[in-house]
Structure 1
């Protein structure tokens, strides 16, 4: 199982890095849209789009939203901050609501249990993340920034795993994900602070005006959002009575099981960079 999990992770990393290196921005937008389509296919039954036709319709709804956001934010050219920042701000506000729903689960399910609410929830979770990812890639060092964001998410996850396994006693969100602990959470945050120190040390001279405080703030906020993303998808799966969103990725479950943390992290990371003066 571990060998299969590692092999799948290596293949995914190779595809991701190859896309970063070889594809132009429109191609990358399509690449990530394909990932969203796979995630939407897996979210569909979580929102009660259970028939094959229903799942296809839900995927098309998501792709339609991406097309609308692509045009509205002018992502095909050189996206302007004035167009994208309000969308990123709305995304961060949306994740604030989701954090409250996670904290209040299972009582909060009264607010989002309906077919319509879970449909909108899935579309916004993935749609906002897609906009943030494509916008990041329009930056002069967009590929490096995307890799940095993935490293933040990975550091938070790995740090939480080992700290939780060694010290974990107090449940972080027992009703949503019983295996996660506060000790693991703080271990993950400690890991991303160390990563932030490395990021700041490696900043190019042109970015010397960005303070260590800003780098730590963006990194920690991104890691926090990744935790909320993970818990949000876990909450919806628990309400739907399923363990994994799918089985497309051997050893990892579904695509959505790998995208959940990224979906939470991407808008916060992108907005944080703008506010930090990148």
Structure 2
């Protein structure tokens, strides 16, 4: 029954998501992604420990207000400095995940609520920035394929060769072999886009390295959300998507991979 729910949910939502990402104007795209992020904010409020309807609504409204303010300040999607802060945060998050179950500066309600701002806003900024580039559609597709490829590659490699656990205290199902399998998938995807974008040798090598880093970041995003769910004692961020859990369970890898990938693309000056 659970598998049937997952399949039908994916079949119904996938065309809508792809249309929203690739077949809309810049302004519609901003609103579309903002809607997804705000659903994630509603769930993040619960991860933070804000359980009442009023506090969750207030937190979601805060995220919406911050997105509107950023859009007003930087209407041309010039978010580089903000994305740099996000990348720095994910380096800190890696330290927290490695040390778990030792708690750190994320264990209180207000700390996790603040972290949600640092996680969700740069995800929106990164996707908006990427879509605004001349080759934005191709790069957006590459980012999504990297995230999906890292997940699918990890699943099959983990099934075939997974013995040593990657982060047993956070997510016992993830293995080191799975991570390497996911990175191998990312490398194949990156090589395809190097050829498609007709990049020079050095730029191609850079994009390949960036793809691998984004793949690692995607795994970190998944692990970080798993850590917070384990701390809160919940299995899924919500039951919004039948068979799939919540929105955060679907976009956790993108929240970490998007800022890293987009910042790297901007530094490489791929347009």
Q: TM-score range by the shorter chain?
A: over 0.9
Mapped pair 1:133 → 2:145: no
Query: Residue 189 of structure 2 corresponds to which residue in structure 1?
Result: 195
Query: Residue 42 of structure 2 corresponds to which residue in structure 1?
Result: 41
Mapped pair 1:218 → 2:210: yes
User: What is the CA distance between 1:210 and its match in structure 2?
Assistant: 5.7
User: What is the CA distance between 1:196 and its match in structure 2?
Assistant: 1.3
Task: Give me the TM-score of the superposition, normalised by structure 2.
Answer: 0.95
Q: Is the 8 A contact 2:49 2:109 kept in 1?
A: yes
Query: Residue 67 of structure 1 corresponds to which residue in structure 2?
Result: 68
Q: Is the 8 A contact 2:142 2:190 kept in 1?
A: no
Aligned residues: 269
Deviations 1:210-258 (A, max 9, x none): 6321121111111111011101100000000000001111111101100
Mapped pair 1:89 → 2:84: yes
Whole-Å Cα distance in 2 between the matches of residues 20 and 174 of structure 1? 35
Mapped pair 1:122 → 2:116: yes
Query: Residue 136 of structure 2 corresponds to which residue in structure 1?
Result: 142
Q: Is the 8 A contact 1:249 1:255 kept in 2?
A: yes
Unmatched 5+ stretches in structure 1? none
Query: Residue 14 of structure 2 corresponds to which residue in structure 1?
Result: 13
Query: Residue 256 of structure 2 corresponds to which residue in structure 1?
Result: 264
Whole-Å Cα distance in 2 between the matches of residues 25 and 5 of structure 1? 30
User: What is the CA distance between 1:11 and its match in structure 2?
Assistant: 2.6
Query: Residue 99 of structure 2 corresponds to which residue in structure 1?
Result: 104
Query: Residue 53 of structure 1 corresponds to which residue in structure 2?
Result: 54
Q: Is the 8 A contact 2:157 2:177 kept in 1?
A: yes
Greater CA deviation, 84-93 or 175-184?
84-93
The secondary structure found in structure 1 opposite 2:173 is strand
Query: Residue 25 of structure 2 corresponds to which residue in structure 1?
Result: 24
Deviations 1:132-163 (A, max 9, x none): 01111111121221111000000000000011
The secondary structure found in structure 2 opposite 1:186 is helix
Whole-Å Cα distance in 2 between the matches of residues 101 and 12 of structure 1? 33
Whole-Å Cα distance in 2 between the matches of residues 126 and 99 of structure 1? 17
Task: Give me the TM-score of the superposition, normalised by structure 1.
Answer: 0.93
Whole-Å Cα distance in 1 between the matches of residues 219 and 21 of structure 2? 25
Q: Is the 8 A contact 2:146 2:215 kept in 1?
A: yes
Deviations 1:73-114 (A, max 9, x none): x23xx33xxx4221111111011111111111111x232111
Q: CA RMSD of the aligned region, Å?
A: 1.4
Q: Kindly tell me: are residues 126 and 267 of structure 1, through their superposed partners in 2, closer, same or farther at Cα, counting changes over 3 Å?
A: same
User: What is the CA distance between 1:71 and its match in structure 2?
Assistant: 2.3
